[in-house]
Structure 1
């Protein structure tokens, strides 16, 4: 379904954008209104019916006097305050799902301006969620989604029914960043036209960051979740929906892609709405192809001489190297050895898997296998994480299967993705035999 809607929105943009580009008007505010109007039209088509969501323009506030600058488009829920004699609203930041800054052309100057505008929204959010005003019983504040993302990224449980785990600062900072990503508005810069190459787009962001190294407001949570410049996008790997495991403590945090930008926009907004409202399996369609990001920025939390903050590393690659990276790849489940399959099945049945379980250790020893080797292979699946001596499932719905070929597989199946993959795989196995029989 997400591809179908993305294609629909791309069709609207393809048909309507030339009308705006060719309009005879030279008045800058009117030109801005036209592109914002088209963006609002696209967003209205992107939102599922029946949720009471609206697309408005105006200002975000924290209920304590802080107010953002004027925002082009906000996807909101609940109630806001309409400003007299205008079509603008003031909306509490806790009820803002997404904020979109719209630009006819997005190049370096526009990128910097829009980044600053959205950073002001981020600062209001930080102030609100760190205050005593935020409602702790708000379902958006459940830590479960962030805890799951953290476990996928690090292979460690940050929060369990037994309570919080003791984490070093470097990992605690990542977990708190993920919590802010979960509750904050999805911030998007939407440039209808822009950079002529992906590399030029990447270089502009790197240059902007280098100019602000050490400045407040340039940590991971202040970056927009999505920046679109014509055919190219920069996106955040925050687990909603894109996840990147830590590499030697570094978080591959920002990536570029020439993937359909409207599909990326849908992925971010629908993932957030799914966390709030719960859509079920039908929303995501086949979901058997995944985007491949070209890493742009990596962040790592660090404490040096009593000062805590984020280190950043830019990945500047040439056009040839970028072109060698595919845009997408076919999804497949995790293929397991028999020992991993048995231990994962044990977890799926609610039984414990511990490194000090003598029965498990004896069984693995009889097969000539070390527990640590099996444990490490299971952690690589991102289906489980460690918590002390235990391994624990971190999926919503882990499912295992044995293929007709005798291969062992497992995957998260909350969207039905594994079911669809197995169906295709079995069809592919049967197709040659059927063809030969009919010859």
Structure 2
């Protein structure tokens, strides 16, 4: 479903843009041109949101919180409800809890436009108060944390033993789940993904050339940048989720792609709506493919002094030729497991956790089957079906399903959104055709 809608929006955008250019070709006043593009954005998203959720697109509005703090004027908001009319002009303000997404609209998007949009959207942080958080924020945080760190969301007691890195990442993801989506949408500007990447990184290098600058951390980057047909996507697990690596710069914070910009925009918005309103994940269709993206910027935390931390970034340069190779989504597939892995997963699903250091039954299982405990656990960690934290193993999936095939192979995987069911129904249907 989401693909079909995204394709429709892409065609609509091109049609609408051609109309604006034809009708406004003699307009030189930048404010008038900007108004047209802001209105187009509102129409684009208005055709993609769900009915019966009291959602609406509004232009030139403000966000406020319980303390009465108000944001800067924002181009375009996706909100719930009618908001409050302000005492001046024809402007409205919306409570932070009623804001799904904030879109900064630009006719042209170049380096300076990216930077100004960055600062405009940061005004949202001034009105974000943790006490305003809704229950869905915790669910979104949990899934993102598991996706990126390959560990279960920690309890308060566990967080008391966090390392500095664990603490920084936890609070970063918590605020990412709490803040509304921040999107920069430019219709023109850099004509290629290569140009967008180069323009972005040169501006970032210019800003931080004298050292760390406040307001340029992973959390400060918007959720998505769209420039024509190219995109820069934040990897925060909401929904883009590339797990942390063992590299020094372990956190791939930004990725890029070309093609399907409206798909990425819709995926961000619909993911947030599905958590907020408890909508079934079936809205995304049943293929469960994993979208591919080009590596762009990775980072790591850096201690500046006794009381302050900053971030270091590394750029992954790619040539025009490398970026011209079409990105291909990776089909979701279950993990083939052997007899011993299946037994461990089965016991784990019943017990919840297994102490792989002190559990006598686990030690006996390892001995009886002549296994190397470290290698065995490592093989299971690589499946992303389990995690190990402080010597205890647990499941990283919510609904573990296993399937025994006629050829004797055994598969395991998540079925929370029907992944296993869809995969094998499709597989068996293809086999029948043969």
**TM-score scaled by structure 2?**
0.91
Alpha carbons 2:287, 2:331 under 8 Å: kept:
no
CA separation in 2, counterparts of 1:265 and 1:243? 15
1:414 paired residue among 413, 416, 421: 416
Q: SS at the partner of 1:291?
A: coil
Give yes or no for contact 1:146–1:182 (8 Å, CA) kept in 2: yes
Measure, in 2, the Cα distance between the counterparts of 1:61 and 1:135: 11
SS in 2 for 1:159: coil
1:285 Cα deviation from its structure 2 partner: 0.6
Aligned equivalents of 1:242 and 1:165: distance in 2?
Answer: 28
Corresponding position of 2:313: 312
Conserved? CA contact 1:81–1:90, under 8 Å: yes
Distance 1:67 1:181 in 2: 20
**Does the aligned pair in 2 maintain the 1:159–1:165 contact within 8 Å?**
no
Residue 343 of structure 2 corresponds to which residue in structure 1? Answer: 342
Contact 1:60–1:68, Cα closer than 8 Å, also in 2: yes
For 2:87 and 2:45, how far apart are their aligned partners in 1? 25
How many Å apart are 1:263 and its aligned residue?
Answer: 0.7
Give the 3-state SS of the residue equivalent to 1:8 in structure 2.
Answer: helix
User: How far apart, CA to CA, are the structure 1 residues paired with 2:141 and 2:34?
Assistant: 37
Residues 368 and 326 of structure 1: is their aligned pair in 2 closer, same or farther, counting only changes over 3 Å?
farther
Q: Deviations over 1:28-50 (max 9, x none)?
A: 22221111111111111221111
d(CA) in 2 for partners of 1:260 and 1:293? 12
After TM superposition, the structure 1 stretch with the greater mean CA deviation from structure 2, 339-348 or 324-333, is 324-333
| Structure 1 Cα separation of the partners of residues 90 and 396 of structure 2 | 45
Q: CA deviation at 1:191?
A: 1.0
Task: Indicate which of 125, 135, 140 corresponds to 1:139.
Answer: 135
Residue 231 (structure 1) aligns with? 229
1:106 is the counterpart of 2:101: no
1:436 corresponds to: none
User: Deviation per CA, 1:46-79, whole angstroms, max 9, x where unpaired?
Assistant: 2111111221121122343433222111011245
Contact kept? 2:84, 2:92, Cα under 8 Å: yes
| CA pair 154-288 structure 1, distance change in 2 beyond 3 A | closer
Question: 1:394 aligned to 393, 396, 404, which one?
Answer: 396
Q: Deviations over 1:122-178 (max 9, x none)?
A: 3432xx23xxxx246x31442x43234223322333414865462210121011100
Matches within 5 A, 1:92-131: 92-125=95-128, 128-129=129-130
Once residues 79 and 167 of structure 1 are traced to their aligned partners in structure 2, the CA distance between those partners, rounded to angstroms, is: 42
Q: Cα RMSD between the aligned structures?
A: 2.2
| Structure 2 counterpart of 1:211 | 206
What SS class does the counterpart of residue 41 from structure 1 fall into? helix
* Cα shift at 1:217: 0.6
Distance in structure 2 (CA, Å) of the matches to 1:321 and 1:225? 24
- 1:157–1:165 CA contact under 8 A, matched in 2: no
Question: Does the residue aligned with 2:276 lie in a helix, a strand or coil?
Answer: helix
2:403 counterpart SS class: strand
Runs (5+) with no aligned partner, structure 1:
433-439
TM-score w.r.t. length of structure 1: 0.90
For the structure 1 residues 17 and 407, does the alpha-carbon distance in structure 2 shift closer, same or farther, using more than 3 Å as the test?
A: farther
Aligned length: 424
**Pair 1:61 & 2:64 matched:** yes
Deviating more after overlay: 41-50 vs 380-389: 380-389
Q: Deviations over 1:193-225 (max 9, x none)?
A: 231221111111111211222110111111000
For residues 17-416 of structure 1, what are the structure 2 equivalents within 5 Å? 17-24=17-24, 25-57=27-59, 58-84=61-87, 86-125=89-128, 128-129=129-130, 134-135=131-132, 138-142=134-138, 144-160=139-155, 164=159, 166-213=161-208, 214-248=212-246, 250-306=250-306, 307-324=308-325, 326-355=327-356, 356-416=358-418
Out of 207-216 and 388-397, give the one that drifted further: 388-397
CA distance in 2, matches of 1:364, 1:405: 26
Q: Is the 8 A contact 2:85 2:93 kept in 1?
A: yes
Q: Could you say if the C-alpha distance between residues 78 and 379 of structure 1 is closer, same or farther in structure 2, counting changes exceeding 3 Å?
A: farther
Q: Is the 8 A contact 1:107 1:194 kept in 2?
A: yes
Q: How far has the Cα of 1:304 moved from its partner?
A: 4.9
User: What is the deviation of 1:283?
Assistant: 0.9
Question: C-alpha distance in 2, partners of 1:28/1:351?
Answer: 60
Structure 1 contact 281–414 (Cα < 8 Å) conserved: no
Following the alignment from structure 2 to structure 1, what is the Cα–Cα distance between the partners of residues 370 and 121? Answer: 56
Using the alignment, how far apart are the partners of 2:196 and 2:233 within structure 1?
Answer: 12
